[in-house]
A and B are shown apart, each in its own frame.
Chain A
Amino acid sequence: MSYAIEFNHLTKRFGNHTVLDDLNFNIHEGKITTILGFSGAGKSTVLKHILGIYHPTEGQVKVLGQDMEKMNEGQIREFRTNFGMVFQYAALFDSMTNFENVAFPMKEFTNYTKDEIEEKAIGLMTQVGLDEFAFHKLPSEISGGMRKRVGLARALALQPKVMLYDEPTTGLDPITTHMVDDLITSTHNHNAHLPMTSVIISHDIAATLRISDYVAFLEKGKTVVHAPVEEFRKSDHPVIKKFIELST
């Protein structure tokens, strides 16, 4: 089994405050892994290390076999085209229509013609189930669930090898939460040929158990458990038991 992301004794400190403490686990290529934990456990810090926004105080992060610490700024920017990121609140460009949002990465990073970009953008928006009437509307004119779909379509535009989801279901109603979960799974399966590795940052236990292949549970910057989802479900670690109990 090969790994898409490797955390080797990753430690991150901000001043005297240790956010990540000797984090040591690997994310399997082609699988859906959820990084779970209480607020302040260091989940978002892990995400920023994957993206190369934060630099380790100690240890190493390897993504797709590459250590971003050894890259210059230009190489990191280019390398980031391997990532697709879906933000908690979609983070769509509010001055652009939904279509323009999805077309944006292709305009910036590919040599596609205008017609090719249009065709691919419409294909992506259809793939994520966006209604046609929403294509040329502004993000502010559509619902939160629709915006998630646009965000996902935009993230998929460059056929990323690693998809990152930052709290994708936080603040959504149960029906939209299920819709987003299904969308993550179908997107993952649809791009299995790449292969696509999906990493979800979440504290939604129900969604995690429903869609993940692996779960990494963080507490106070340390990995409590990193295991296949079935193993995680049966874990008798007191913190995880408490987390599951409180969440359900």
Chain B
Amino acid sequence: MIKLLKSSIEWLGSWVMSITPALGRFTLYAISNFQWFFRPPIRKHLFFEQMVFMGNKSLFIVFLTSSFSGAVFAYQIYLGFTAFSVDSFVGPIVAIAVVKELAPVFTGLVVAGRCGAAMAAQIGSMKVTEQIDALEVMGVNSIQYLGVPRVFATVVTMPMLTGVFMLVANAGSWLVGVKLLGIDEAIYFAKLGDFMNLNMLVEGLIKAAVFGYLISIIGTYQGFAVKGGAEGVGRGTNMAVVWGMIIVLIMDFFLTAILAQILG
């Protein structure tokens, strides 16, 4: 028993020892990224380029994911609720779930997979081909030039994509609920009005912005942290996706708890 306890403590100790330096470097990077955001020069064109890039990368998948998520969720709720003759609640149930949870989380997962990976790959390949060194030697701060625009663009674009997700998912729900399964349209919208409020929308959009920050700060950090050649870029890209997705799922719980206290 003592042996098991000792080996467990040893394992925990070595894990903490291995993760601490990386966590420290990540924290320093996040602080540096934040500081450089406020320092001139402000390169507006880079922010817009990144926003367009993110939109192009993610909009189609967000559209696809949201339409089918809304539709299938409405269908499943209908199957359950119709047994109790409360199928008129399909609209608000789907809407609340989508606006508060599904939209920010699913959009976060899509953006982590598409844009988080792209950020790590772009910056990582610049690192291994000395392009980042070239920037630094010229006197251009690479975090300010490459990191800050990506993080800012993701923080701004994530709520927009989440908004699109909310809209399309609810359209999918309406299509299935009203047009396919025959729920009365007037009741569908009346119930929506009864149960939905603005705070739910605010909660979803705040979550989206926070997820956007976390995905992009992880993605860009993994790019800057790349070591070695192509293999290192692959590893960094993989880490950006995995950690981006994990952090979205974990933070969703904590954000829900915090925002429930603030927004009610």
Residues of A in contact with B (beta carbons under 8 Å apart): 51, 53, 77-81, 83, 85, 87-89, 91-94, 104-105, 108-109
- Whether the Cβ atoms of B133 and A91 lie closer than 8 Å is yes
With CB as the reference atom, state the residue of chain B lying closest to A51: B137
The 9 nearest A-B residue pairs measured at CB: A91-B130, A80-B139, A77-B139, A91-B134, A85-B137, A87-B130, A91-B131, A81-B139, A105-B138
Contacting residues, chain A, for B134 (C-beta < 8 A): 85, 87, 91-93
What are 14 residue pairs bridging A and B, where the CB atoms are less than 8 Å apart in the complex?
Answer: A79-B139, A80-B137, A81-B138, A81-B139, A85-B137, A88-B130, A91-B134, A93-B126, A93-B131, A94-B125, A94-B129, A108-B41, A108-B138, A109-B139
Contacting residues, chain A, for B141 (C-beta < 8 A): 77
Contacting residues, chain A, for B138 (C-beta < 8 A): 80-81, 85, 104-105, 108-109
Q: Nearest-CB distance from B41 to chain A (Å)?
A: 8
**Assembly CA distance A112 to B216 (angstroms):** 34
The total of chain B residues at the interface (CB under 8 A) is 14
- Whether the Cβ atoms of A78 and B139 lie closer than 8 Å is yes
Contacting residues, chain B, for A89 (C-beta < 8 A): 129-130
**Assembly CA distance A51 to B129 (angstroms):** 18
Contacting residues, chain A, for B129 (C-beta < 8 A): 89, 91, 94
Chain B at the A interface: SS class = helix
Is there a chain A Cβ closer than 8 Å to B136's Cβ?
A: yes
**Assembly CA distance A197 to B161 (angstroms):** 53
- Whether the Cβ atoms of A108 and B133 lie closer than 8 Å is no
Contacting residues, chain B, for A105 (C-beta < 8 A): 138
**Assembly CA distance A108 to B130 (angstroms):** 19
Among candidates A83, A88, A104, residue contacting B137 with C-beta atoms closer than 8 Å: A83
Contacting residues, chain A, for B137 (C-beta < 8 A): 51, 80, 83, 85
Q: Nearest-CB distance from A142 to chain B (Å)?
A: 15
**Assembly CA distance A93 to B123 (angstroms):** 11
Contacting residues, chain B, for A51 (C-beta < 8 A): 137
Is there a chain A Cβ closer than 8 Å to B140's Cβ?
A: yes
**Assembly CA distance A94 to B130 (angstroms):** 11
**Assembly CA distance A89 to B128 (angstroms):** 11
**Assembly CA distance A81 to B133 (angstroms):** 14
Q: Nearest-CB distance from A163 to chain B (Å)?
A: 12
Contacting residues, chain B, for A85 (C-beta < 8 A): 134, 137-138
With CB as the reference atom, state the residue of chain A lying closest to B130: A91
List 8 additional A-B contacts (Cβ < 8 Å) besides A81-B138, A85-B134, A91-B129.
Answer: A77-B139, A81-B139, A87-B133, A93-B126, A93-B131, A93-B134, A108-B139, A108-B140
Q: Nearest-CB distance from A201 to chain B (Å)?
A: 13
**Assembly CA distance A85 to B41 (angstroms):** 23
Contacting residues, chain B, for A108 (C-beta < 8 A): 41, 138-140
Cβ contacts B128-168/A at 8 Å (1 or 0 each): 01110110111111000000000000000000000000000
